[in-house]
Amino acid sequence: MSNNKFKVLIVEDEANICSFIETLLTTNDYQALVAHTCTMGLTLFASHNPDLVILDLGLPDRDGLELIRTVRQKYMTPIIVLSARTDEMDKIEALDLGANDYITKPFGTGELLARVRAALRLNRYGAPLGGAAPNGEFCAQGLRINYDRRKVFVEGEEVKLTQTEYNIVAFLSQHAGRVMTYAAIVKAIWGDTDIGSTKKLQVNMANIRKKLGSRPGSNSYILNELGVGYRMLDEDSGPRSEGLE
Ligand code: CA
């Protein structure tokens, strides 16, 4: 039933990337709409009310950031930004404007699909993820957080965290699968926007990562998105892949 499919608007001027994403989405049972300019993207957004936007920032007519700004005036539709590897400032600006996530070019199919599902709050089988867990727990990749008791377990073993460390882990888990900028985490934990707090965050995070350890033969539970922020792996995160597959 085509009207049950999630509608994804792709705003990207590079034809090969565009058709790569379009093919990937349609073969995975999404409906794809394509715009090659910012203006066309806004027009299609208004006429089709998509469930998700995948947005390139470098567009021929206007900056993709303008699309985020315009959409966010009225809509909470998830937006994933496509960005070149080195543009940390662009990523941060996009996230601060209200983009939900970014993905760095070049990217693999698995990575893109995982981000799409995370943005739509779907699990790997396409079923909706529960919001707040009914039993007050977060569980992913061997990491378990009991929110009621404020306790964290790795592979069943309790990990002793300080209050601040716990608050950071709990906050990231509530946004699992998505990158949180340093500024967003600092604001949530310390309630300020002081740039000096980023240092506090980094110190706490180093301790957290040490205490949580890594899954054997795999990456740690919290990924450091260099220059941007941190991302907690969700139940759906596979190993990170590099390059177009
Ligand atoms: Ca471009």
Domains of the chain by start residue, with CATH: 6-125 (3.40.50.2300), 137-238 (1.10.10.10)
Nearest CA-CA partner of 119 in 101, 107, 104, 134: 101
- Burial (Cβ within 10 Å: 0-12, 13-18, ≥19) of residue 242: exposed
Pairing of strands 79-84, 179-181: unpaired
Q: Could you tell me the distance, in angstroms and rounded to a whole number, from the CA of residue 12 to the centre of ligand 1?
A: 6
Least confident of 71-75, 87-91, 145-149: 87-91
Q: Could you tell me the distance, in angstroms and rounded to a whole number, from the CA of residue 58 to the centre of ligand 1?
A: 4
Q: Could you tell me the distance, in angstroms and rounded to a whole number, from the CA of residue 70 to the centre of ligand 1?
A: 19
Q: Could you tell me the distance, in angstroms and rounded to a whole number, from the CA of residue 238 to the centre of ligand 1?
A: 27
Pairing of strands 7-11, 52-56: parallel
For the entire predicted model, the pTM comes to 0.73
Q: Which residues surround ligand 1, an ion (CB under 5 A)?
A: 13, 56, 58
Q: Which residue has the tokens 């989405």?
A: 25
- Reported as a single tens digit per residue, the pLDDT across 126-184 is 666 654 455 688 888 789 999 989 999 998 999 999 999 999 999 999 888 888 999 89
Q: Could you tell me the distance, in angstroms and rounded to a whole number, from the CA of residue 40 to the centre of ligand 1?
A: 14
**Looking at the predicted structure, is the pLDDT value of residue 195 above 80?**
no
Q: Could you tell me the distance, in angstroms and rounded to a whole number, from the CA of residue 127 to the centre of ligand 1?
A: 32
Q: Could you tell me the distance, in angstroms and rounded to a whole number, from the CA of residue 239 to the centre of ligand 1?
A: 27
The mean pLDDT value of the chain amounts to 86
Q: Could you tell me the distance, in angstroms and rounded to a whole number, from the CA of residue 51 to the centre of ligand 1?
A: 22
